[in-house]
Chain A
Amino acid sequence: MTAARRDESGARLAYFVLTVRQASWFMNHRSYRRAADPHHGTQGWKRGRKLADFLQLTLNGLAVGCIYGLVALGFVLIYKATELVNFAQGDLLMLGAFVAYMAVAWWGLDYWLAFLIAIAIIAVFGALLDAVVLRRVIGQPQFAVVMLTIGLGSMFRTFASITWSTEERTVTSPFSGVTQIADLTLRHDYLAIVAGTLLLCGLLYAFFTHTRVGIAMQATSQNQLAAYYMGIPVKLIFSLIWAISAGVAVVAGVLLSPTGTISINMGLAVALKAFAAAVLGGFGSIPGALVGGIIIGLIELYGGRVLPDGIKDTAPYIVLLLMLVVRPQGLFGTPGRKKV
């Protein structure tokens, strides 16, 4: 190859790569990995302290899995109601994390207040998304609407990169600190994640089963036409579901922020795993989403320690493929078939 052609081909490749790439999964992925498992990459268990090590990994995997589970929960909530998959869920997580950061760092607000404000703003944003954008595409093939959410996600990332620039930032929270119990290092931010997830799920469960609005949501997701007949304001309910789903994403984002750095592309990496988690659990099942998330989180942590270099990044996906081959409807899903 002549020098000129090398330059040209290099430039073409660079141009190509730059125009195509926007997120680098594994690069971003690594900052949380390092946080979750300081011994990540070293093969084998720490000698002499196998049980403690195993417990440590399990706890950390639980925390990571809860984040995936929360985002998967957001996916499933919207899917159960509207049979659409919202690929922008991860980006809503990112927006929530940044709004909370902005409230603390730029406006000087208290952490909890910022948390609530972020939830409120993004939840309203989610409802508006449904009312303004998603409502117009009812009746279009499911795949086209999924692509719509992908496009929206891309727009959110661009908006974020313009408003807050692309640098990674660290976030402080009341949960920075650790407690040592024997050989176990309990990070407070991980405990907060697990506690927050349990609390949120408890709230959602109570909401869906014991309030009128929640029951109306269940009805709408099962039979839209019948819900209309019963006088349920179906469109409003859909917007509410979107608002709740967005709120769940924000909770996940704010809980996730202190464990690593926040950046524009943090949502993308999480969303991909969360998607796998939702499918693993069976896409129509809310407990399935959480269980799926925890399984993915545990696989990631255990695999990161035990598996050889080539497989550990893709271990969750291999498990997912195996699950889909053996049981195409996921763990808790019901095999669907059209009634004719």
Chain B
Amino acid sequence: MTYFQADNLCINFGGIKAVDGVSFDVQKGMVFTIIGPNGAGKTTIFNLVSRIYEPSDGRLLFEGRDITRVPPHRIAALGIARTFQNIELFEHASLLQNLLLARHAHKKSDFFSELLFLPSVRRMEVEHREAVEKVIDFLDLQQYRDSLIVNLPYGVRKVTELARALCTDPKLLLLDEPSSGLNVEETEDMAFWIQDIRNLLGITVLMVEHDMKLVSAVSDRVLALNYGRPLAQGSPQEVQSHPEVVRAYLGG
């Protein structure tokens, strides 16, 4: 069954068609990458999936359900998580608090029991902390647990973005340029983590990337975009050798 499907997505920003008739589907357990030059609409598609933008046309289907009109704060509960290209972490909180916040969609307490901090709330806090610690172990973030985000270097922040998305217990993970700003070693680490996420954690990954090595190493399927319109779709090798893609994006 198609796990996630975008069907003829369109969005206009005052006359500019930022996304124009993009359709693709993602099978469960695969890594699907969207490539294209800057301004092609890749992040806009992500914003459409996370429901930050309203599409002017088209549908989004996840696990068979139409999620085109779901309000943005319900997306996490459905099992879709995302990272942000320009790092939208909570700067003045500690790393641990950032990750604990990601568990919000799974919280089971209401305002009044939190107000009195009943034992049920205490138990829930410990449960969430245990879940978060698993992700910290997975991504080796132990030493930064209590640091404020403002004090962390860029590479660690990128990993924290990934960690925070993982803490929401997602079924579908949207990664927006996970390797941008990372050096060769950090990009290799990121590649291993993405593979682990798919193989060990069983999470489906939808990715936007510029680094072609990473794309070839990790992706199962690739979609190339230009000016909001799809150019080619297929396996990484097929798309990278497609003449139009080469002309528009990869260069001779």
Q: Which of A31-86 contact B (CB under 8 A)?
A: none
Chain A interface size range? under 10
B52 at the interface (CB under 8 A from A): yes
Q: Given the complex of chains A and B, what is the CA–CA distance between A340 and B47 in angstroms?
A: 8
Number of A-B contacts (CB under 8 A): 7
Q: Digit string of A323-340 for contact with B (CB within 8 Å is 1, else 0)?
A: 000000000000000001
B185 at the interface (CB under 8 A from A): no
| Residue in chain A with minimal CB distance to B46 | A340
Return chain A residues, CB-CB under 8 Å to B235: none
Chain B interface size range? under 10
Return chain B residues, CB-CB under 8 Å to A340: 43, 47, 52, 84-86, 88
Q: Digit string of B199-222 for contact with A (CB within 8 Å is 1, else 0)?
A: 000000000000000000000000
Q: Given the complex of chains A and B, what is the CA–CA distance between A340 and B86 in angstroms?
A: 7
Q: Given the complex of chains A and B, what is the CA–CA distance between A123 and B152 in angstroms?
A: 41
Q: Given the complex of chains A and B, what is the CA–CA distance between A161 and B113 in angstroms?
A: 53
Main SS at interface, chain B: loop
**Interchain nearest-CB distance for A293 vs B (Å):** 29
Q: Which of B151-204 contact A (CB under 8 A)?
A: none
Return chain A residues, CB-CB under 8 Å to B43: 340
| Residue in chain B with minimal CB distance to A340 | B84
Main SS at interface, chain A: loop
Return chain A residues, CB-CB under 8 Å to B47: 340
Q: Given the complex of chains A and B, what is the CA–CA distance between A340 and B43 in angstroms?
A: 8
Q: Which of A141-171 contact B (CB under 8 A)?
A: none
Q: Digit string of B25-45 for contact with A (CB within 8 Å is 1, else 0)?
A: 000000000000000000100
| Residue in chain A with minimal CB distance to B52 | A340
| Residue in chain A with minimal CB distance to B85 | A340
**Interchain nearest-CB distance for B25 vs A (Å):** 25
Q: Given the complex of chains A and B, what is the CA–CA distance between A340 and B52 in angstroms?
A: 9
Q: Digit string of B76-94 for contact with A (CB within 8 Å is 1, else 0)?
A: 0000000011101000000
Return chain A residues, CB-CB under 8 Å to B85: 340
Q: Given the complex of chains A and B, what is the CA–CA distance between A340 and B72 in angstroms?
A: 14
Q: Given the complex of chains A and B, what is the CA–CA distance between A340 and B88 in angstroms?
A: 8
Q: Given the complex of chains A and B, what is the CA–CA distance between A305 and B235 in angstroms?
A: 76
Return chain A residues, CB-CB under 8 Å to B52: 340
Q: Given the complex of chains A and B, what is the CA–CA distance between A340 and B85 in angstroms?
A: 7
**Interchain nearest-CB distance for A334 vs B (Å):** 11
Q: Digit string of B49-61 for contact with A (CB within 8 Å is 1, else 0)?
A: 0001000000000
Q: Given the complex of chains A and B, what is the CA–CA distance between A14 and B85 in angstroms?
A: 57
Q: Given the complex of chains A and B, what is the CA–CA distance between A340 and B48 in angstroms?
A: 12
Return chain A residues, CB-CB under 8 Å to B88: 340
Q: Given the complex of chains A and B, what is the CA–CA distance between A175 and B67 in angstroms?
A: 67
Q: Given the complex of chains A and B, what is the CA–CA distance between A340 and B46 in angstroms?
A: 10
Q: Given the complex of chains A and B, what is the CA–CA distance between A340 and B51 in angstroms?
A: 12
Q: Digit string of A299-340 for contact with B (CB within 8 Å is 1, else 0)?
A: 000000000000000000000000000000000000000001
| Residue in chain A with minimal CB distance to B86 | A340
| Residue in chain B with minimal CB distance to A337 | B52
**Interchain nearest-CB distance for B90 vs A (Å):** 14
**Interchain nearest-CB distance for B215 vs A (Å):** 22
Q: Given the complex of chains A and B, what is the CA–CA distance between A340 and B44 in angstroms?
A: 9
**Interchain nearest-CB distance for B59 vs A (Å):** 23
| Residue in chain A with minimal CB distance to B87 | A340
Q: Given the complex of chains A and B, what is the CA–CA distance between A340 and B50 in angstroms?
A: 11
Q: Given the complex of chains A and B, what is the CA–CA distance between A175 and B84 in angstroms?
A: 60
Q: Given the complex of chains A and B, what is the CA–CA distance between A178 and B86 in angstroms?
A: 62
**Interchain nearest-CB distance for B162 vs A (Å):** 16
| Residue in chain A with minimal CB distance to B84 | A340
**Interchain nearest-CB distance for B199 vs A (Å):** 29
**Interchain nearest-CB distance for A136 vs B (Å):** 18
Q: Given the complex of chains A and B, what is the CA–CA distance between A176 and B47 in angstroms?
A: 61
Q: Given the complex of chains A and B, what is the CA–CA distance between A76 and B86 in angstroms?
A: 29
**Interchain nearest-CB distance for A236 vs B (Å):** 29
**Interchain nearest-CB distance for A141 vs B (Å):** 9
| Residue in chain A with minimal CB distance to B82 | A340
**Interchain nearest-CB distance for B92 vs A (Å):** 9
**Interchain nearest-CB distance for A138 vs B (Å):** 15
| Residue in chain B with minimal CB distance to A141 | B92
**Interchain nearest-CB distance for A335 vs B (Å):** 13
Q: Given the complex of chains A and B, what is the CA–CA distance between A340 and B89 in angstroms?
A: 12
| Residue in chain A with minimal CB distance to B176 | A340
**Interchain nearest-CB distance for B85 vs A (Å):** 7
Q: Which residues of B contact A (CB under 8 A)?
A: 43, 47, 52, 84-86, 88
7 cross-chain CB contacts under 8 A = A340-B43, A340-B47, A340-B52, A340-B84, A340-B85, A340-B86, A340-B88
Q: Which residues of A contact B (CB under 8 A)?
A: 340
Q: Which 7 A-B pairs have the closest CB atoms?
A: A340-B84, A340-B88, A340-B86, A340-B47, A340-B52, A340-B85, A340-B43
